[in-house]
Structure 1
């Protein structure tokens, strides 16, 4: 993808998410923010029974779909959740929801581009990167983010990644395909192999799964359907 194409795709994604956060509330029924991703909470359960002082990093946190639920589940412990998102509107919304759900004392929200976000080495028990790695500028940038995630995880900690792969988009009116505007559109098997290879040394892969998704969107001049294989991948740091 050229620099100009990346900028176009990034601008489209930013506009879509800004409008979505304005028009829909967190946990609104019938939207993709209707609740936290179950896989995020299920994977967190692998840690929370063994440690009452978890440090969690939520990359691409948005308005707090997963962040708020994670903090709520860790209520009563000495845990902390750091939430990072590119959009100022998302961070503002997340902070408002954290107060609404009375978990703001557990959450630190930071506005940053995850592609350039510095992760402190050996700090986190759990790093979740949900539907955000496909928005970096290149495969090289993806490798750099993964490197920082690996280095930032404590021994025994877990990385969870969900990533849209093999993305296609069609017009809802006639199912005519259109070129998807997404920054990094990797083939599913290629992305799975990339993650498996990256987490090969000193990590135990907990699961790698594919889920077919079709989501209506209001992102272009007319309604479309976003189609992909959502790759779900988790690994635990062995040493």
Structure 2
């Protein structure tokens, strides 16, 4: 099994477990509430109609369902892309439960190979997903597609993990981080600034995080520098 296949297998196992054992918007996991940075952007579209949103790596709807609730009465649409059947199946159920099934459109795809229509979206969101594409070259291509797919005055909102480390808690042994694209923080920021040159950067911050996960029934400490990057396309 290749390293990429191993990472994909481990990530599928981890997310399938979360989606099966934790309910959306209930305390106990990262599914508890949407990302504040994402939700804080929605008032910027208060005067817009026909809002189009793309959620790359949507999962079960942690962000896309609250977005859909906000734009429901503005003829909005949220296109949700994910590779996992477990995510999309749950997303469809939650969309019905929260009465936004007409707003949310699900598409099964690998975000690294999903073709984004040019000038289609007012808001493109990618939370902890871009670092899971196959390679740095594909990472670059996806972000360039995001930029091209954004309307004038539209916004791209990303949270990207960098300098990820995984440490087995019992032995304190450093493990191979299960992350396809794992760049140094400064290199990632330089890359983003280059791609979004000419855009208005609304937010750029780095937050060191660490939390416990389970890998192959072992308690593992995951450490990361989480980069929040939000940019608006100028006319």
Taking structure 2 as the reference length, what is the TM-score of the superposition? 0.96
Aligned-residue RMSD, C-alpha: 1.3
1:5 shift after superposition? 1.2
Aligned mate of 1:92, from 77, 85, 89: 89
Conserved? CA contact 1:57–1:124, under 8 Å: yes
- Given that 1:53 and 1:78 are in contact with CA atoms closer than 8 Å, whether structure 2 keeps it comes out as yes
Query: 3-state DSSP class of the match of 2:14?
Result: helix
Q: Give the counterpart of 2:157 among 152, 157, 160.
A: 160
- Written as runs of structure 1 = structure 2, the 5 A alignment for 1:44-193 is 44-46=42-44, 48-193=45-190
Matched with 1:43 is 41
Say if 2:27 is the partner of 1:29. yes
Shift of 1:38: 0.6
User: Is the partner of 1:103 in helix, strand or coil?
Assistant: coil
Give 3-state SS (helix, strand or coil) of 1:182's partner. Answer: coil
Paired residue total: 235
CA distance in 2, matches of 1:142, 1:44: 26
Q: What TM-score, normalized to structure 1? A: 0.94
Alignment-derived partner of residue 4 in structure 1: 2
Question: What is the CA–CA distance in structure 2 between the aligned matches of 1:44 and 1:187, rounded to whole Å?
Answer: 30
TM-aligned CA deviation for residue 43 of structure 1: 2.0
Measure, in 2, the Cα distance between the counterparts of 1:167 and 1:45. 33
CA deviation map 1:75-111 (0-9, x unaligned): 3211111011010110010010000011111110111
CA contact (8 A) 1:44 1:126 kept: no
Quote the offset at 1:174 in angstroms. Answer: 4.3
Match of 1:81, SS state, is: strand
Can you give the 5+ residue segments of structure 2 that lack an aligned partner in the other structure? none
Distance 2:142 2:227 in 1: 17
Contact 2:22 2:28 (C-alpha < 8 Å) held by counterparts: no
State which of 200, 207, 211 in structure 1 corresponds to 2:207: 211
Tell me which of 217, 233, 236 is aligned to 2:232: 236
**Displaced runs of 4+ in structure 1, greater than 6 A?**
none
10-19 vs 58-67, which deviates more? Answer: 10-19
1:45 is displaced (CA, Å) by 2.4
Q: Is the 8 A contact 1:55 1:124 kept in 2?
A: yes
* Corresponding residue SS for 2:218: coil
Q: Distance in 1 between matches of 2:35 and 2:79?
A: 17
Q: Deviations over 1:46-102 (max 9, x none)?
A: 2x2231321000000001100111111223211111011010110010010000011
